[in-house]
Amino acid sequence: MATAVDIATPPAADPAFENVWDELVWRGLVHVSTDQEALRELLGGDPIVYYCGFDPTAPSLHLGNLVQLLTLRRIQLAGHRPLGLVGGSTGLIGDPRPTAERTLNTPETVAAWVDRLRSQVERYLSFEGDNAARIVNNLDWTAPLSAIDFLREIGKNFRVGTMLKKDAVATRLNSEEGISYTEFSYQILQGMDFLELYRQYGCVLQTGGSDQWGNLTSGTDLIRKVEGVSAHAIGTPLITNSDGTKFGKSEGNAIWLDASMCSPYRMYQFWLNTDDADVIDRLKVFTFLTRDQIEDYARLVAEEPFRREAQKRLALEVTTTVHGPEATDAVIAASEALFGKGDLAALDADTLRTALEELPHADVARGSTVVQALVDTGLCSSASEARRAISQGGVSLDGVKIDDENAVVTGALPGGVSVLRRGKKTLAGLFVS
């Protein structure tokens, strides 16, 4: 099995690129930016300070945020100094969504989420050496500022006409919902963040999603007006699937980085199911594999797509990056055992239970018949169909073929669960009590 990246001790920068700017471009991470020649020179020279912000509008970051976390780390590997900003103040507001006004969370909720997001951001950066990372909270410089000082010192540098042209604002103005002054002011707060980080740390580059471009440039414009200095911004593309669907969401369920909100098993399966048309782009964006390694996988996809080697490596790398090698080993073992390539009884109880929760499943009483369990889990539409499936030899329980229609559920696997199978690939989980 290939060795996955350990985010705590990741590899050196890809030797195929002398300048990290060229690597970002090759990986498809530059959708929009300020002056490209200036950025290439900046990133190829002496260490700079750069930042990305993460707002606590939920108790966890998600895959969209992971793009930014890994971008921060790539630039750090090239010798530059990252600032990870957790938005204790901007999280109280929330950047304008294209559809509707956000529900404001309480200060206590936001403060709790700040702590959670801070611990997540810290996992992806190094805090040692000459280019050690630093975590900052914009509430530190926003909270002491009075409304009058904010309007006089910061607000006077923004022109309403320019603010109205920002994509997020323009979209909301043209909607039935409209936009409140609270969310309209968000771009001023983010611009002030960039100015403050420039003043405190000499920060000259901000990265973020391309949908944040108006907010990113509010900072570069403010620094130019107030300090007379050119600062820069890079907007990464919004990740979508080859069929145009939004990446990372299925039936409204985001892929969160917090294991309690999205199990390692679910994350592993998400990446394992990546379409052939998308997998190489995902390897570029979400792993630290080198260009040579990724080009090898591109050849495998073209020549032997049925082996799905690129998907397996992608799932291995990203799940390890997010959840660590031990959790990844456990979910791989569970995945293989569930599909007949390992011992179900040897699995960790918690991992097995979370894996079964991702399958069709049902709560059943110990001693219930397998026939009823087949119906309860939806593997069969009726008891007569279930009995017929058993008589045809197509049903197994916990890896053992069932040939008696009176067989009962035992919950014999770790954690008091059972795995029900119909045919070769149709599985269901049974939570036995």
Q: DSSP letter string over 243-312?
A: TSPBTTEETTEE-BSSTTTS-HHHHHHHHHT--HHHHHHHHHHH----HHHHHHHHHHHHH-GGG-HHHH
Query: Between 3.40.190.10, 1.10.240.10, 1.10.3720.10, 1.10.10.60, what CATH number should domain 240-357 receive?
Result: 1.10.240.10
Query: Between 3.10.310.30, 3.40.50.12780, 1.10.1060.10, 3.40.50.620, what CATH number should domain 31-238 receive?
Result: 3.40.50.620
Is residue 189 pLDDT above 70, yes or no?
yes
Which pLDDT tens digit goes with each residue over 46-61? 999 999 999 999 999 9
3-state secondary structure of 431: strand
Backbone angles phi, psi at 224, to 5 degrees: -65, -45
Interacting residues of 380 by C-beta distance below 8 A, sequence separation 6+: 374, 386, 389, 422
Residue 1: what pLDDT?
32
pTM for this prediction: 0.90
Residue 97: what pLDDT?
80
Backbone angles phi, psi at 363, to 5 degrees: -90, 125
Which pLDDT tens digit goes with each residue over 98-129? 777 888 999 999 999 999 999 999 999 999 99
Q: List the chain domain ranges.
A: 31-238, 240-357, 359-433
Which pLDDT tens digit goes with each residue over 166-175? 888 888 888 8
Overall CATH class of domain 359-433: alpha beta
Better-predicted residue by pLDDT, 342 or 221: 221
Q: What's the whole-number mean pLDDT along residues 177-199?
A: 93
Which pLDDT tens digit goes with each residue over 8-22? 455 667 888 999 999
Is residue 5 pLDDT above 50, yes or no?
no
Q: SS3 helix, strand, coil % of the chain, rounded to 5? A: 50, 15, 35
The number of beta carbons lying within 10 Å of the beta carbon of residue 18 is: 11
Is residue 211 pLDDT above 60, yes or no?
yes
Which pLDDT tens digit goes with each residue over 226-281? 999 999 999 999 988 877 777 765 545 689 999 999 999 999 999 999 999 999 99
Q: Do domains 31-238 and 240-357 have the same CATH topology?
A: no
